[in-house]
Amino acid sequence: MSKKIYFVFLFFVFLFLFTKKIFADNLIQNPGFENEIQNWKSNNSTVLFSATNEEFFEGSQSAKIFNPRTSSYGIEQTLTDISSSLNYQMKANVKIIPPYPEKTFFRVAWYKSTDGSGSQLSTDDSNYATSSADWQEISLIKNPSEGINSAKIRLLVASGSAYFDNVSFIEYFYPSATPIPTNTPFPTLTPTPLLPPMAGFEGQALISYDNIFLSEVMANPDTNQKEWVEIYNNNDFSVDLTDWYIDDLENSGSSPKSFSLTLAAKSYGVIQPSSSIFNNDTDTVRLLDFNKQEKNSFEYADSEKNKTWGRISFDSDDFCLQEPSLGTMNNPCIGESTVDQPSITSSAPTTIKNAINNPVQKKVSLINQNVSYGQNYNYIPSGQVLGTETKKQSNNFSSTVNSLSLSSFLYSLLTIASVFLKIKKWI
């Protein structure tokens, strides 16, 4: 009897050791804010946040975040040991506070470094919270790009306040599809697209590219001159920006201006709307994809005649007043002798600094400085456009292999135990 108990115990020990990875660990530290604000920090000086027991989804506390600005800011946490071979599911429970903020969501920024330092390669956003007084879940499932080793998760609010609770970042296993038996001898047919390709772009899928950034904006040109916006393709491949948009502050009265542009790798392009859209004083410049989803934006508080707002550093997301550098590397900030032209990182909204004290050296060596420039764009009529966004296919192979390996091991273990008992009986 004691031998049977021993082998049963041994069986459960091995079962625990080899199956504990099935239950994924949450990579978030202090996910429910039960340890106050430990492991979290704000990403803008205007953000106010605290752990509170006013409202909570689970436990006894949540994070209350207030951001008065129209750009999205909040709090963040750095996550290490990220693997590009895995899929991840991110979730958070949110409750927005009246008057409801413009946006409440979370954003994940991906990094090649192992500690979230340096330039972020890309970002992914969850769905936005809806205008509801109840707790609601926002989520995202993503397979990081090749070479990703760390990430930052940012809990963001624009123009308002919200509670966040129960934040999770776990490895995700897609359910295995069970084949349906069929006796049909016919080959599988390729589905017909719901909408025909756009005229002039037959057979070309619309793509919401990452790493396309606002570089320089002429918001206050000389008399009889036109505004222009310079963008930069920081990818290692050319992109076709079909039916993208330039816009000012969201819902401010001006309609987004459509453009189509092809940019070579590491090159600039210039868009010149046929009519003015930016204010000479406070305004926002936004770059939108073909679905009018924001890809990049920044705010400015004022302007000077025939001076541009140009990027200083994509690491810090700052702009400053500069002499125009249409289609080429940005000039130094006015009053400086050098300009930072670093690695391009963020698709998040950016802010302005009117004075820069520490000049820095150039960091980017442009592979191609070709400029795509249009005097007057024929605006493409707005409407619902069927587009696609490039995504890596989910990698379910590792979870399947793990399951098979576990089953094989347990079968082998039981076989060995059975042989061992027979040997002992014979002896």
Tens digits of per-residue pLDDT, 292-306? Answer: 899 998 888 888 898
Task: Give the H/E segment covering residue 64.
Answer: strand 62-67
Q: Which of 147, 171, 195 is the last residue of a domain?
A: 171
pLDDT band for 359, please (50, 70, 90 cuts). Answer: very low
With respect to residue 2, please indicate whether it lies within any of the assigned structural domains. Answer: no
pTM of the model: 0.44
Compute the distance between CA of residue 399 and CA of residue 276 in angstroms, rounded to an integer. 54
What pLDDT is attached to residue 158? Answer: 94
Q: Which of 145, 171, 197 is the last residue of a domain?
A: 171
Most confident of 106-110, 119-123, 277-281, 385-389: 106-110
Same domain? 246 vs 138: no
Same domain? 329 vs 413: no
CA contacts within 13 A on the Cβ side of 259: 25
pLDDT band for 393, please (50, 70, 90 cuts). Answer: very low
CATH of the domain at 134: 2.60.120.260
Compute the distance between CA of residue 96 and CA of residue 160 in angstroms, rounded to an integer. 8
Whether 332 shows a pLDDT value over 70: the answer reads: yes
Report phi then psi at 76, rounded to 5.
-145, 165
Same domain? 266 vs 310: yes
Whether 205 shows a pLDDT value over 50: the answer reads: yes
How many domains, in total, are found in the chain? 3
With respect to residue 185, please indicate whether it lies within any of the assigned structural domains. Answer: no
Same domain? 164 vs 221: no
The more confidently predicted of residues 373 and 257 is: 257
Whose CA is closest to 94, among 161, 5, 36?
A: 161
pLDDT band for 47, please (50, 70, 90 cuts). Answer: very high
DSSP symbols for 110-142? EESSSSS-S-EEEEEE-PPPPS-SS-EEEEEEE
Strand partners, 262: 240
Provide the 10 A C-beta neighbour count for residue 174.
14
**Domain ranges, residue 162:** 24-171
160: Cβ contacts below 8 Å, ≥ 6 apart:
66, 67, 96, 97, 99, 100, 101, 102, 104
Same domain? 161 vs 44: yes
With respect to residue 161, please indicate whether it lies within any of the assigned structural domains. Answer: yes
Whether 154 shows a pLDDT value over 90: the answer reads: yes
What pLDDT is attached to residue 405? Answer: 52
Tens digits of per-residue pLDDT, 76-130? Answer: 999 999 999 999 999 999 999 999 999 999 999 999 999 999 988 899 999 999 9
215 neighbors 330 (Cβ within 8 angstroms) = yes
Least confident of 215-229, 245-259, 364-378, 393-407: 364-378
Tokens 């037959």: give the residue: 202
